[in-house]
Amino acid sequence: MVSPMNGRAELRDDKVITPFGDLAPRPDIRPEVLLRLSGKLQTTLELSQLLEIFLEEIQQAVLIDGLSFHHEPSNTSIAVGRNSLHTANYRLQTQQDYMGDIAFHRSTRFREHELANIEGLMTALVYPMRNALRYHEALAAAFRDPLTGAGNRVALDKTLNREIELAKRHDQALSILMLDLDHFKRVNDEFGHSMGDKVLKEAVNAMAGCIRQTDMCFRYGGEEFLIMLSSADQAGALRIAERVRMGIGQMLFSNSKGSLQVTTSVGCATLQMSDSLEDIVSRADAALYVAKDQGRNRVICDLDMPFIEKEESQHTQE
- The answer for residues whose C-beta is within 8 angstroms of residue 305's C-beta and 6 or more apart is 286, 287, 290
Residue pair 41/128 in contact by the 8 Å Cβ criterion: yes
Interstrand relation of 224-230 and 76-81 (parallel, antiparallel or unpaired): unpaired
Q: How far apart are CA 221 and CA 218, in angstroms?
A: 9
Residue pair 293/199 in contact by the 8 Å Cβ criterion: no
Closest CA to 292 of 273, 314, 264, 268: 264
Residue pair 226/176 in contact by the 8 Å Cβ criterion: yes
Closest CA to 179 of 230, 232, 140, 237: 237
Active site residue 223: yes
Strand partners of residue 227: 177, 217
Q: How far is CA 268 from CA 41, 153, 232, 271, 299, in A?
A: 45, 19, 11, 10, 7
User: Which of the following is catalytic: 119, 137, 223, 311?
Assistant: 223
List the catalytic residues.
223
